[in-house]
């Protein structure tokens, strides 16, 4: 019965959101069924569509897991956006400095790397950098919360601004190729590139950016589930989230768990950099995130803070993001902004129903 309720309320929220969205489409003067067909049908029509949908879902899985871990400890991590930004920049930095990156500046080649690591070691170093950087950035609000009682929501929001500003500064003045009109760093070494799924699936175009980072995201769903529900550390973290006073009475330190939860949360958010840098752009691109850190909150809410639910919710939101392009092109009056409206309505319904079920 509990599992049924956990599945029922998100489904009800989605259906209600689509009904409200359909009424909005009718009010605008378009056909809601045709609109939804364009939104959903073009996400699974071919291997190309499926590849792009799963590519969009990959960062949402990581950020959804990041938010869920913090939620389970009674915390709201609004800082996944900043955590993934600093992690992405530092991952690109390692790929440049230790990947033998050769940069052409006004027709002259320059070596920007300190040394050239073997491909396997370079990929491991980049992945570790993504996780550690995100974890350290996430630990900051955790420590501030544990030591001084400052609210993690305010801290993480402020750290988002700091993160984006810092990496933009270093990109602009230190790691952007002179003369490049695009705000981006130089490319990482080729040894840091990870394979794309198209190499293993016949018929999937080579330009589809879906990489093995998606498989890593699936692995992390299992890892987070095992950690939270099958280990002593996960139990202690969840106990603090349920009742900090009771947990402390039982010998569990709430302050310690707060720091641990925010650190793990930041590390998961930082893993967005793996697919972005190592499997897609092969560099840091300023403004690359389409609000993945913030959308991860909606993914976690719809997925009921459970790894399986987060995986399904990430696919669902990826379908919406993929379909917004076709809605904008194929419908007469409806723009891609309808997707943003649907996302907001879903969050409202999920939050309302979650409060109702708790009562």
* Confidence class for position 108, pLDDT limits 50, 70, 90: confident
Between CA 134 and CA 8 the distance in angstroms is: 34
Average pLDDT over every residue of 158-177: 95
How remote is the C-alpha of 308 from its chain's centroid? 15
What is the pLDDT at residue 214?
Answer: 97
Lowest mean pLDDT among 61-65, 129-133, 175-179, 278-282: 175-179
Torsions phi, psi for 109 (to 5 deg): -85, 135
Between CA 244 and CA 356 the distance in angstroms is: 23
What is the pLDDT at residue 153?
Answer: 95
Pairing of β 102-105 and β 108-111: antiparallel
pLDDT value at 359 more than 60: no
Average pLDDT over every residue of 330-341: 81
* Confidence class for position 14, pLDDT limits 50, 70, 90: confident
Between CA 214 and CA 61 the distance in angstroms is: 9
pLDDT value at 211 more than 60: yes
What is the pLDDT at residue 151?
Answer: 92
Q: Which residues contact 46 (CB under 8 A, 6 or more apart)?
A: none
Q: Give the residue among 333, 96, 300, 76 at the shortest CA–CA distance from 191.
A: 96
pLDDT value at 354 more than 80: no
User: Is the domain covering 2-358 a CATH 3.90.1460 domain?
Assistant: no
Lowest mean pLDDT among 134-143, 235-244, 323-332: 323-332
By CB atoms closer than 10 A (0-12, 13-18, 19+), residue 294 is: middle
* Confidence class for position 4, pLDDT limits 50, 70, 90: low
Average pLDDT over every residue of 287-311: 93
Mean pLDDT, the chain, rounded, equals 91
Tell me the C-alpha to C-alpha distance, in Å, between residue 331 and each of 25, 204, 283, 327.
Answer: 10, 28, 35, 6
pTM value is 0.94
Q: CB count, 10 Å around CB of 170? A: 16
Domain boundaries of the chain, sorted by first residue:
2-358
Q: Between residues 155 and 325, which one has the greater pLDDT?
A: 155
What is the pLDDT at residue 343?
Answer: 79
pLDDT value at 43 more than 90: no
* Confidence class for position 88, pLDDT limits 50, 70, 90: very high
What is the pLDDT at residue 52?
Answer: 94
By CB atoms closer than 10 A (0-12, 13-18, 19+), residue 108 is: exposed
Buried b (16+ CB within 10 A) or exposed e, 173-208: eebbbeeeeeebbbbbbebbbbebbbeeeeebeeeb
Average pLDDT over every residue of 164-186: 92
In this prediction, what percent of the chain has a pLDDT beyond 70?
96
What is the pLDDT at residue 115?
Answer: 86
Lowest mean pLDDT among 106-115, 127-136, 271-280, 282-291: 106-115
* Confidence class for position 271, pLDDT limits 50, 70, 90: very high
Q: Between residues 206 and 106, which one has the greater pLDDT?
A: 206
pLDDT value at 357 more than 60: no
Lowest mean pLDDT among 1-5, 44-48, 83-87, 261-265: 1-5
Lowest mean pLDDT among 44-48, 54-58, 237-241: 44-48
Out of 3-17, 178-192, 331-345, give the one with best mean pLDDT: 178-192
């Amino acid at each position: 019965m509990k599992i049924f309720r956990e599945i029922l309320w998100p489904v009800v929220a989605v259906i209600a959101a689509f009904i409200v969205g359909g009424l909005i489409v009718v009010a605008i003067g378009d056909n809601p069924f045709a609109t939804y067909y364009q939104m959903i049908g073009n996400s699974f029509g071919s291997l190309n569509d499926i590849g792009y949908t799963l590519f969009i879902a990959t960062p949402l899985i990581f950020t959804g897991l990041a938010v869920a871990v913090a939620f389970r400890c009674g915390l709201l991590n609004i800082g996944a956006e900043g955590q993934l930004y600093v992690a992405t920049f530092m991952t690109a930095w390692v790929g440049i400095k230790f990947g033998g990156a050769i940069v052409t500046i006004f027709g002259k080649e320059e070596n920007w790397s300190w040394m050239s690591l073997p491909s396997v070691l370079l990929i491991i170093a980049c992945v570790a950098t993504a996780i550690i950087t995100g974890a350290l950035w996430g630990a900051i609000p955790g420590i501030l919360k544990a030591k001084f009682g400052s609210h993690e929501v305010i801290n993480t929001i402020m750290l988002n601004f700091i993160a984006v500003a810092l990496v933009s500064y270093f990109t602009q003045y230190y790691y952007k190729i002179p003369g490049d009109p695009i705000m981006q760093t130089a490319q990482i070494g080729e040894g840091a590139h990870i394979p794309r799924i198209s190499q293993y699936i016949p018929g999937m175009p080579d330009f589809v950016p879906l990489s093995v980072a998606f498989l890593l995201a699936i692995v992390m769903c299992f890892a987070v589930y095992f950690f939270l529900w099958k280990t002593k550390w996960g139990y202690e973290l969840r106990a603090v989230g349920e009742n900090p006073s009771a947990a402390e009475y039982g010998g569990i330190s709430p302050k310690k768990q707060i720091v641990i939860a925010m650190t793990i949360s930041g590390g998961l958010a930082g893993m967005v950099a793996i697919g972005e840098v190592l499997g897609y752009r092969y560099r840091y691109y300023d403004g690359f995130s389409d609000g993945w850190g913030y959308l991860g909150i909606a993914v976690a809410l719809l997925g009921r803070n459970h790894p399986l639910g987060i995986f399904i919710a990430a696919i669902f939101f990826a379908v919406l993001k993929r379909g917004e392009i076709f809605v904008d092109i194929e419908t007469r009056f409806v723009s891609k902004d309808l997707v943003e409206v649907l996302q907001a309505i879903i969050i409202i319904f999920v939050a309302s129903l979650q409060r109702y079920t708790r009562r």
